Amino acid sequence: MPLLRRLVLFWIFAFSLAAVRAEFRAAVVKVDITPKTPQWLMGYGARKSTGVHDPIFHHIAAIDDGNTQVFLIASDLCLFSPTVYDDVTATLKKEFGIESRQVWWTVTHTHSAPEVGPPGMYDILLKGRSDHPWDREYGEFVKSTLVSGIRDARAKLAPARLAIGTGFSRANINRRARDADGKVSLGLNPDGPTDRQIGLIRLERPDGSLIGLIGNYAMHGTVLAGSMLQVSADGPGVVSNYVEEKTGAPMLYINGAAGNLAPIYTVLDLPRAHLGEFRVLLGDKIIEANRNLGPGASDVKLWLGETWIETPRREGLGWSDELKAYGAKSPTGVDLVRIPVRVLRINDAVLWASPVELFCEIALKVRADSPFRHNFYFGYTNGWIGYLPTAQAFREGGYEPRTTPFSEKVEQDFTEGVMAFLQGVPRN
């Protein structure tokens, strides 16, 4: 065969292979993680479950543009230490070659779900809530089911299209209540800042049928009060299940900057908890936003990045060896906290994430100044290292500024660090 013809055939083959690899694919799977034995519940004071009100799940979305593969996970849990995330990603790396940056593990932040793994920062910031042995068997169950779910989602990747857009819901409310003397406490503050954007990603097959939805909305998982002793996915789970019933496809509920945002009906005992109302307040709004999205596109490009932001640690705060990756010292000897920020660009949208309970004003500021059309913040991602309040909240006081490893300077350091990184994210 002449050399020129061989070269032409080679390049035809190479371009064809590249075209195959560039095909966008997606899959969504749902894995039951409901405990079969009593468990210590996380989110309020220490208490042990007496049964199950509704099941809890991992929801796992796998997306792949032919060059970059990402797994987005929403688990019906309250929070977990970054070391739990590290254990899972080490297993994924060993068994499947999946890098940690490809795995975004978020929680819905329901306060009626079991503890998972060692308490980590939770024990440092909320002394007394973890003075009991953690259930290693259930912890391993949650991690192993996540690994198997990711394997399943990866195996089910198939040609897909993607659509991104937004909606609006009044299902949340600022929870920093103010008294006449200026004292701030947990309650309801209808005059306080809120973020009521619904961020929505639709994954669909080439024929337009639905693979799954990813809904991003900022709201504490505290519809149910601390007196609740049954396992429950709380408001986020009600919404996710309702959307699934109406659309026939699973939905990942990805919590946002909910550090100072409660559900509009909050900390109530059954049967007064108004759980079902969130099907209307938020579930129907997600379904409406999905109808307004229009058809998805198969031309999808993904870009992954990560940065670490350093900021002073709160004076006098203890630390632990298991969190050493999240601590440092400045050249002048100041104790620092290191905050990982993950960024995923999907066409003209940016998803960004960190392992904190972020105040909504900070996410709103980033959204307003971002160079990208859509900006979705994924809270409680890849672990939990405490609340990240605004500087004003530190001055006002209240629960959240006491439940943080950070100083008043964190808002400035975090916002500037995130914006500087977003400015450098490639646009195509």
Q: For the residues 352-363, what does the mean pLDDT come to?
A: 98
Q: For the residues 282-287, what does the mean pLDDT come to?
A: 98
Distances in whole angstroms, Cα of residue 27 to Cα of each of 20, 159, 234, 241, 304: 17, 9, 25, 18, 19
Residue 152 has pLDDT above 60, yes or no: yes
Residue 144 has pLDDT above 90, yes or no: yes
In tens, the pLDDT along 51-104 reads: 999 999 999 999 999 999 999 999 999 999 999 999 999 999 999 999 999 999
Residue ranges of domains in the chain: 23-155, 163-292, 302-423
Handedness of CA 402, 404, 407, 408 (dihedral sign): negative
Q: Are 179 and 185 in contact (CB under 8 A)?
A: yes
Partners of 106 in beta bridges: 74, 381
In tens, the pLDDT along 106-121 reads: 999 999 999 999 999 9
Per cent of the chain over pLDDT 90 is: 93
Instruction: Identify residue 188 by its one-letter amino acid code.
Output: L
In tens, the pLDDT along 13-26 reads: 444 444 444 799 99
Instruction: Identify residue 77 by its one-letter amino acid code.
Output: L
Tokens of 314: 């709160």
H/E stretch holding 285 reads helix 284-292
H/E stretch holding 423 reads helix 410-423
E strands of 205-318, at which residues? 210-217, 230-231, 251-255, 261-263, 302-312
pLDDT range class, residue 1, cuts 50, 70, 90:
low
Q: Are 157 and 64 in contact (CB under 8 A)?
A: yes
Q: For the residues 119-124, what does the mean pLDDT come to?
A: 95
Distances in whole angstroms, Cα of residue 399 to Cα of each of 111, 394, 402, 404: 16, 10, 5, 9
How many degrees, rounded to 5, is the angle at CA 117 between CA 389 and CA 353?
A: 35
> Strand, coil or helix: what is 82?
helix
> Strand, coil or helix: what is 58?
strand
* pLDDT at position 271: 87
Phi, psi of 366 (to 5 degrees): -60, -45
* pLDDT at position 5: 54
Distance CA 121, CA 258 (A): 18
In angstroms, the first-to-last Cα distance of the chain is 40
In tens, the pLDDT along 199-220 reads: 999 999 999 999 999 999 999 9
* pLDDT at position 91: 98
* pLDDT at position 256: 98
Q: Would you mind telling me the total number of residues written for the chain in this entry?
A: 428
* pLDDT at position 428: 79
Q: For the residues 354-373, what does the mean pLDDT come to?
A: 98
pLDDT range class, residue 344, cuts 50, 70, 90:
very high
